[in-house]
Amino acid sequence: MQRTYLKQAAKTARSDADDVRDTVQAILDDIEKGGDEAALRYGEKFDGYSGPVLLNAEEIKAASDKVSQRLKDDIAFAHDNVRRFAEIQKSTLQNVETEILPGLIAGQRAIPCQTAGCYVPGGRYSHVASAIMTVTTAKVAGCRHITACSPPRKGEGIAPAIIYAANLCGADSILSMGGVQGVAAMTFGLFGLPKADILVGPGNQFVAEAKRILFGRVGIDMIAGPTDSLILADATADPFIVATDLVGQAEHGYNSPVWLVTDTRALAERVMEILPGLIADLPELNRVNAEAAWRDYGEVVLCTDREDMAACSDEYAPEHLTVQAEDLDWWLDRLQCYGSLFLGEETTVAFGDKASGTNHVLPTSKSAKYTGGLSVHKYMKIVTWQRSTRDGARPVAEATARISRLEGMEGHARSADARLAKYFPGETFDLSGTD
């Protein structure tokens, strides 16, 4: 039996992707040439803001004073969860060394990037969670300087809750600038900031394109497209919970795909029956986004059994993957391609997005086939080192000389020859490189 699409998407996440490369490249070139002045000009043009760009301690305190104690407590709760999970992740990276041959020792070191630039979406919404996710992980990783950059609201500045969260989580600088100009400022080291070694955090298509163009001269976490989510559900799942979770992710944007994969037709039909009413009950902007996302990008796939469901999910390689089915350990062991996995009804993508501890900056558009999401590991460089005694160097030098000559790399071979001649004078070696 083949898979049956009870609802199939009319579009993909990239169907409406605008060709923004030329626009972004022109802005980056202008800012690199014009420096602070050019960045400020674009900030005023796109953000409608001409206030302080780098916030000082007094401005941070003034913004923090506007945040309610309840919200401060919630931010502290989420920060603590993210921090503790990040610390556990960091503990899996250890400096190691081993004696490969007698006298030849090689090792590994994990070294954090010096400077991190954390982009935090702002504007209409206060994306407090993104400040927590990006700044906290950079701090735990050990980055020496962390810049949090967020778009100011027109004529107002960054939302106070974002300022409070970024400061609490360890940002050394808070930059009131959004979009391409904010990314450029962190990359080029404008306004007295150190140049970023790595850029992280979600953003709109212009931010994503800027990161893509700049990748190479600066590291990035990933090139992200529209957020996407998939739910695997069997006959034991609650249709209302499944539908609620699909709607909760569809509200991200008009082109945010949400998918239901199941082996139970009755469940699928009930979810499709409930879902429109849940969308209609959302506030206006959320409703408009969710309606378009479900209409144009939503899919419902009926599979033959749970193995087929798992295989289908791995093909989608979703950013967020939820399992509401029996035998959760089986799913944990079987599933391979996802950004973050949510097992059982008692957890949900919204928990991971905001407060449970795992990171919400995750791979989209099937990139979960080859990468994971943001973590302390993204800020860490795994470097190697070696040292050797003269006796330990001998067999390595002989092999290196012969392999190098076979490859036609005479200069490499002579680096090995020189050591053999110095360390073992009078001895003869066969270093011809003939096979």
Residues 6+ apart with CB under 8 A from 389: 103, 104
Per the CB < 8 A criterion, the answer to whether 326 and 236 are in contact is yes
What would the pLDDT profile of 349-379 be if each residue is shown by its tens digit?
999 999 999 999 999 999 999 999 999 999 9
Catalytic one among 32, 319, 346, 377? 319
Residues 6+ apart with CB under 8 A from 423: 390, 393, 394
Could you tell me where the DSSP H helices lie in 92-200? 128-141, 160-169, 179-188
Q: Tell me if domain 21-93+112-221 and domain 226-372 are identical in fold.
A: yes
DSSP 238: -
Percent of the chain surpassing pLDDT 70: 97
**Average pLDDT in the 2-21 region?**
76
Instruction: Please state, rounded to an integer, the average pLDDT across all residues of the chain.
Output: 95
**Average pLDDT in the 183-194 region?**
98
Catalytic one among 320, 407, 412, 427? 320
What would the pLDDT profile of 23-40 be if each residue is shown by its tens digit?
999 999 999 999 999 999
Residue 15 has pLDDT above 60, yes or no: no
- What does CATH list as the number for 21-93+112-221? 3.40.50.1980
Active site residue 79: no
Distances (CA, A) of 419 to 259, 388, 391, 430: 62, 12, 11, 14
**pLDDT at site 154:** 87
Active site residue 319: yes
The listed CATH number (3.10.450.100, 3.40.930.10, 3.30.360.10, 3.40.50.1980) that belongs to domain 226-372? 3.40.50.1980
d(CA 43, CA 31): 11
Predicted TM-score (pTM) of this structure: 0.92
What would the pLDDT profile of 305-318 be if each residue is shown by its tens digit?
999 999 999 999 99
Domain ranges for the chain: 21-93+112-221, 226-372, 389-435
d(CA 250, CA 242): 12
Between strands 96-101 and 4-7, the pairing is unpaired
Residue 201 has pLDDT above 60, yes or no: yes
> What token pair was written down for 153?
């609201």
d(CA 82, CA 379): 15
Phi–psi pair at 213, nearest 5 degrees? -65, -40
